[in-house]
Amino acid sequence: ADDSRKTAMLVCAVCVVPVVFAAHASNLWLATLLIGLAASAHQGWAANLFALASDLFPKQAIASVVGLGGMAGALAAMVFSESTGLILEVTGSYWSLFAIASAAYLAALAVIHWLSPQLQPVKLGGPEA
């Protein structure tokens, strides 16, 4: 499961990278295509990320893990939304935002690999362990 899950996530992460060119696309359809590819890759990434929780954690912990991940994502989205406005005010361009988005999934995959190189199930301590 380790190789297939990480391979699927790598494919999704790589498919997001071209979104960096959307800010300077020569026409609207090219920008739409690049953003659409990134959005589709995000869906594949999210599906694998939710499945990753059930791969790594016992069933009694999955809801808590997914909930904590969702909360962290919501907090990050609030910060990024505010930052987006500030970046647009200062630069007047979406390029830096697309650059961040294009690198974020590869960086996240690197963190996942760093935290769990083999994607082994976590052993939780407690009376049932």
Q: Tokens representing 38?
A: 């990134």
Residue 64 CA to its chain's centroid (Å): 19
Burial bucket for residue 4 (CB in 10 Å: 0-12, 13-18, 19+): exposed
Residue 29 placed within a domain? yes
Question: What band does 125 get if pLDDT is binned at 50, 70 and 90?
Answer: confident
Angle, helix 28-56 to helix 2-16, in steps of 10 degrees: 160
Residue 53 placed within a domain? yes
What average pLDDT does range 7-13 have in this prediction? 97
Residue 52 placed within a domain? yes
**The domain containing residue 8 runs over which residues?**
2-115
Residue 120 placed within a domain? no
- Give the residue with greater pLDDT, 50 vs 41: 41
Is pLDDT above 80 for 64? yes
Residue 123 placed within a domain? no
- Percentage above 70 pLDDT, the chain: 95
What average pLDDT does range 83-98 have in this prediction? 95
Give CA angle at 39 (34, 42), nearest 5°: 130
Residue 79 placed within a domain? yes
> How far is Cα 9 from Cα 44, in angstroms, rounded to an integer?
8
This prediction has a pTM of 0.85
Residue 129 placed within a domain? no
Q: What is the pLDDT, as a whole number, of residue 80?
A: 94
Q: What is the pLDDT, as a whole number, of residue 128?
A: 59
Residue 16 placed within a domain? yes
